[in-house]
Structure 1
Amino acid sequence: MTDNPLIQLAQAAHAWQTRDVPVAVEHDTRRAVLDWFGSMLPGCLEGPAVALSHAVASEQGQGAAVSYVDGQRGSARHAALLNGTASHTAEFDDIFRDGGYHPGSPTISAALAVAQAEGASADAFRRAVIGGYEVGCRIAMALQPSHYRDWHITATVGTMGAAVSTAMIKGCTAEQIGNSIAIASSFAGGHQENLQGKGQTKPLHCGHAAEAGVLAGLAAAAGVTGSRDSLHADHGYAAASSDTTGNWGMALAGLGDWTPISRMTFKNHGCCGHIFPTLDGLRVLQAQHAFGPADIDGIEVEGYGPTASICDRLDVTTPQDARFSVQYCVAALLYMGAVRLAAFTPEALARADLRAFMPKVRVTEDPEIAAAYPSRRQARLRVTLKDGSVLKHFQPTRKGDPDDPLTDAELVAKFDELAGLAVTQDDAARLRRCVMATDELPGSVPLHPANQSAA
């Protein structure tokens, strides 16, 4: 067997074209697609995808791919760009924990757009999603954790996952799939300042990754080639974007034995995943001791690197800021009972009680917890009550992670909540049935806005 990671990954993706798909893997894939739709649809209502749809309206053109943002059919690249941007706006998209990576936004956005454009079957679409997750998630493992210091890994590696899914739907050979990865590695971008800083660029990272991945996959299908050493060479992608030429031994371990789409985290909170252990731990303490925000004198949160470096923020002026603030999300959980979309409305952001509580939350990095990142996402909490008592809790995982997964019922409830904001109940129910229980390509017709009656 070759020791070239690009070739190994391309061969693994190609194998998913014809190998038996275990029933459990197919079900996991359907769950990922349903979660993508639920995460994507609220982003069609407001945010950068809406503005972007006006900016690129002249590019709609002819095609069968559906952009759910503008309700129009057009090219696969156009639909992937808009749907990919929308799917990362509400911050509810899935996570591959071991890579710190959101594969669904770029991969499914690309795969569905190309499948619709090509008239592909639902089976071919799901296989392309599995293969795109296989490659993207394993590349993410090889680059982390140092890649994340400067780069938004969903923006970068997502381009390669999208390219693979595109190439697979186009029926590419393993060599062509490898070329799609190589080409995509030159398109991959998206830095941390546009993740952590002000502005609305972060969701565009995923839209661009989906669109650029489609371009890379189409180019490879047409015969364009790239360097077979693009991932691991001294001047390759890993060396250019991380501290090494890639931890490929770890990333490729178990290739062919397990596939990443069966190890996904589905978000239970509408904020940055680095905040989840804190929120889950607070829920445990509240269930045990029945305290409310008025009883609390202070909260100390000890987490891993990004908990402190990205999510320790008191300066919150926008929904994007709030979704990346431990202080805001803790206050929202305590006062509103949940950190879902309602926590990030203008009315919630203006609440004086949430603002007054935020300075009570202190965030630091714990070396032991940091050493377990990214394979473990943990937090240690210390809640001091006004009566002087101190409550302590260690949260070893997150609700929604593979070791504490959302049930099908919980995942469906999340989808119904999010989709119901954007489309009619009939459309939401029809889409859910299509994704989870039929062999039809989902979402092949535009959906009706929630304030309209289904035609």
Structure 2
Amino acid sequence: MKAILTLQHCRSVETIRVTSRPETPLGADMVLIEKIADYIVQEQTRTLPPRTIHHAKRAVIDWFAAMYPGAVQEPNPMLRAALLDSGDPQHATIFPTGDHSTVKTAAFLNGASAHTSEFDDIFRDGGLHPGCATIAAALAVAQKHKRSGDALLRSVIAGYEVSSRISAAMGRDHYRYWHTTATIATFGAAAATAVLLGLNRDQTAHALATSATLAAGLQQAFRSDGMSKPLHAGHAAETGAMAAIAAGKGVTGALDVLEGPAGMGAAMSGTADWDKATSGLGDTYNIEMITFKNHGCCGHTFAAIDGVLAVMNAEQMIASDIADIAIASYGPAVSITDRADPQTPQEGKFSMQYVVAHAVHYGSVRIEAFAAERMRDPAIRAMLPHIQVSLDPQIDAQFPSRRAAHVSITTRDGRTFSHYQPTRKGDPDLPLSDNELNAKFIELTTPILGSISTNALLEKLWQLETIEVASILASAVIRRDSETGNHLPN
């Protein structure tokens, strides 16, 4: 029986409620996807804790912060040129240009933009970027169906909970060859869309099942140079939304596609622990345990960056004092980011040597770190051969639940300073504060929207549970001249 959404328009962060017509309970022999779908539907009737709502708003704010700089970087202008058609239905907004297209195209383009700048959020225990696909799909669907901000937040929470738990269940073995954001974020997009469409339990289960069989995305896409990595997030957003929309029209999937003998776990992991997919589901919220990035590069480099800066600050060290740096960390930090001679921005974002050298010389790793002129900086290039990266078995044993690094800096006068960095700034145990998140949003958004629209959008996003999704769009796109259609200056 199809759930009937009656969303109360809350004026307080205290509650977000959705009521639905009850269904006949399923038996104890539910397969895994049915259990997850049952949670998604039950979630529509729960009273959410204020802290969970607050963390959902943080996730949406961070999504916009990551999306705006990504939207103007390659390959996203190319993707808009390739995929937008003036004859498309005008259902959903493409950021930041204000173009419109179908839900699927908007989800794809906005999802790709949100994953390009390498500032998008992380679920540490699953190696997943949950927001880029989940929120891209949710915004597109919410806009088409004129949903409220509280409905959007509820859908985002459901998407994060489902995708984060499946990513943890698939385990480290999945991350050997597969890009988790490509393969698992599709479940977040499907769950969010199912909530916004009011799908019942059976429809939601089939949406998830179809999402599973369409999941794809290989790590070689970012272990070598190329532009296709952001498309992983776009594909996940589009696929999840499409699967849920299709399920609402009666399309079915194989409900044992996760744990079946030829299912996702068997094909893409081999060590999947499906108890993790439902452990705590509905009782605790992983959206409260999200990492918000403090550097604009691969997250596997963050502990090393933080550790090197900690030593430099403690010892009042400057770049010219340093002769050599040794970094020991966990497996993917070595196999993915040990690149001593990056030539392109994409390679630079995934080069431990480059981002650490940049942090040494400039004190941070932000958008400008990957400008062509900066990547040719002679001082940075000269330091690259003097940064060594190796595996620390003890640190590796803690991955993915802890992302640590051991750094040793040898100075030109022969002294050595060592430091163990147990976590990353932005991780749940060392989080960005609301003020730090606001500063990140303003830094990354203002160059695209201008200060007036940036501040207006930020204010609305903090009030998201009290407004309509449509009301944020005027502040969320680049202003245009009403007569010529040209973009106005910021």
Same fold per superposition (TM over 0.5) = yes
Q: 2:235 aligns with which of 208, 218, 221?
A: 208
Cα shift readout 1:108-165 (whole Å, capped 9, x = no counterpart): 0000100001111111111110011111000100112011111110011111111111
Q: 1:167 aligns with which of 170, 185, 194?
A: 194
Aligned-pair CA distance for 1:239: 0.9
Partner residue in 2 for 1:410: 436
What is the number of residues matched between the two proteins?
Answer: 453
Partner residue in 1 for 2:334: 308
Q: Does 1:223 align with 2:250?
A: yes
Q: 1:24 aligns with which of 38, 51, 56?
A: 51
Q: 2:290 aligns with which of 264, 270, 283?
A: 264
Opposite residue 147 of structure 2, the aligned amino acid is: A
Alignment of 1:315-354 (within 5 A): 315-354=341-380
Distance in structure 2 (CA, Å) of the matches to 1:177 and 1:346: 46
Opposite residue 190 of structure 2, the aligned amino acid is: A
Partner residue in 2 for 1:248: 274
Distance in structure 1 (CA, Å) of the matches to 2:235 and 2:209: 17
Distance in structure 1 (CA, Å) of the matches to 2:245 and 2:227: 28
Q: Does 1:452 align with 2:488?
A: yes
Partner residue in 1 for 2:169: 142
Contact 2:33 2:208 in 1 (8 A): yes
Partner residue in 1 for 2:300: 274
Aligned-pair CA distance for 1:64: 3.0
- Give TM-score scaled by structure 1 length: 0.97
Distance in structure 1 (CA, Å) of the matches to 2:382 and 2:278: 48
Partner residue in 2 for 1:89: 116
Opposite residue 416 of structure 2, the aligned amino acid is: V
Distance in structure 1 (CA, Å) of the matches to 2:395 and 2:125: 15
Distance in structure 1 (CA, Å) of the matches to 2:250 and 2:473: 29
Q: Does 1:363 align with 2:363?
A: no
Distance in structure 2 (CA, Å) of the matches to 1:144 and 1:272: 19
Aligned-pair CA distance for 1:437: 2.1
Instruction: Flag the 1:161–1:360 CA change in 2: closer, same or farther, 3 A.
Output: same
Opposite residue 446 of structure 2, the aligned amino acid is: G
Q: 1:294 aligns with which of 300, 311, 320?
A: 320
Q: 2:215 aligns with which of 188, 193, 201?
A: 188
SS in 2 for 1:208: helix
Distance in structure 1 (CA, Å) of the matches to 2:353 and 2:215: 32
Q: Does 1:394 align with 2:420?
A: yes
SS in 1 for 2:478: coil
Aligned-pair CA distance for 1:229: 0.5
Cα shift readout 1:166-185 (whole Å, capped 9, x = no counterpart): 11111001221111110001
Aligned-pair CA distance for 1:63: 2.7
Instruction: Flag the 1:341–1:60 CA change in 2: closer, same or farther, 3 A.
Output: farther
Partner residue in 2 for 1:426: 452
Opposite residue 406 of structure 1, the aligned amino acid is: L
Distance in structure 1 (CA, Å) of the matches to 2:29 and 2:314: 54
Alignment of 1:101-120 (within 5 A): 101-120=128-147
Contact 2:62 2:121 in 1 (8 A): yes
Cα shift readout 1:210-245 (whole Å, capped 9, x = no counterpart): 11111101011111111111111111111111123x
SS in 1 for 2:324: strand
Gaps of 5+ in 1: none
Contact 1:143 1:242 in 2 (8 A): yes
Aligned-pair CA distance for 1:70: 3.8
Aligned-pair CA distance for 1:2: 4.6
Opposite residue 444 of structure 1, the aligned amino acid is: L
Distance in structure 2 (CA, Å) of the matches to 1:2 and 1:444: 45
SS in 2 for 1:210: helix
Distance in structure 2 (CA, Å) of the matches to 1:37 and 1:277: 24
337-346 or 11-20, larger mean C-alpha shift: 11-20
Contact 2:134 2:185 in 1 (8 A): yes
Contact 1:53 1:70 in 2 (8 A): no
Cα shift readout 1:75-124 (whole Å, capped 9, x = no counterpart): 11111111011101100000000000000000000001000011111111
Instruction: Flag the 1:268–1:435 CA change in 2: closer, same or farther, 3 A.
Output: same
Distance in structure 2 (CA, Å) of the matches to 1:437 and 1:250: 33
Distance in structure 1 (CA, Å) of the matches to 2:84 and 2:104: 13
Q: Does 1:236 align with 2:272?
A: no
Distance in structure 2 (CA, Å) of the matches to 1:335 and 1:315: 17
SS in 1 for 2:40: helix
Q: 1:48 aligns with which of 62, 68, 75?
A: 75
Instruction: Flag the 1:62–1:239 CA change in 2: closer, same or farther, 3 A.
Output: same
Q: Does 1:7 align with 2:37?
A: no
Aligned-pair CA distance for 1:60: 5.9
Q: 1:33 aligns with which of 49, 60, 74?
A: 60
Contact 2:337 2:352 in 1 (8 A): yes
Opposite residue 389 of structure 1, the aligned amino acid is: R
SS in 2 for 1:144: helix
Aligned-pair CA distance for 1:4: 2.9
Cα shift readout 1:336-376 (whole Å, capped 9, x = no counterpart): 11100111111111111100001111001111111100000
- Aligned-pair identity (%): 42
Give the superposed CA RMSD.
1.5
Distance in structure 1 (CA, Å) of the matches to 2:86 and 2:174: 34
SS in 2 for 1:394: strand
Q: Does 1:79 align with 2:106?
A: yes
Instruction: Flag the 1:304–1:441 CA change in 2: closer, same or farther, 3 A.
Output: farther
SS in 2 for 1:393: strand
Q: Does 1:100 align with 2:127?
A: yes
Cα shift readout 1:371-427 (whole Å, capped 9, x = no counterpart): 100000000111111111110111111110111100000000000000012112111
Distance in structure 2 (CA, Å) of the matches to 1:294 and 1:303: 25
Gaps of 5+ in 2: 1-27, 481-486
Contact 1:17 1:168 in 2 (8 A): yes
Opposite residue 25 of structure 1, the aligned amino acid is: T
- Give TM-score scaled by structure 2 length: 0.90
Distance in structure 2 (CA, Å) of the matches to 1:189 and 1:435: 32
SS in 2 for 1:444: helix
Aligned-pair CA distance for 1:252: 2.4
SS in 1 for 2:418: strand
Q: Does 1:128 align with 2:147?
A: no
